[in-house]
Amino acid sequence: MIASKNQGPSGLAIAALITGLLGMSIVPIILGAIDLSKIKRGEASQAGRGFDIAGIVLGAIWTVVWLIMIIVMAVLGSGLLFNL
Residue 54 CB: number of other CB atoms within 10 A?
Answer: 17
Question: 27 Cβ partners below 8 Å, 6+ apart?
Answer: 19, 59
pTM of the predicted model as reported, rounded to 2 decimal places: 0.82
Do residues 82 and 48 make contact, with C-beta atoms less than 8 angstroms apart? no
Inform me whether the pLDDT recorded for 5 exceeds 80.
no
Contact of 51 with 17, CB cutoff 8 Å: yes
- Per-residue pLDDT band for 82 (boundaries 50, 70, 90) equals low
**What pLDDT, on the 0 to 100 scale, is given for residue 83?**
62
Q: Where are the domains of the chain?
A: 11-83
pLDDT single digits (tens) 13-33 = 999 999 999 999 999 999 999
- 84, pLDDT greater than 80: no
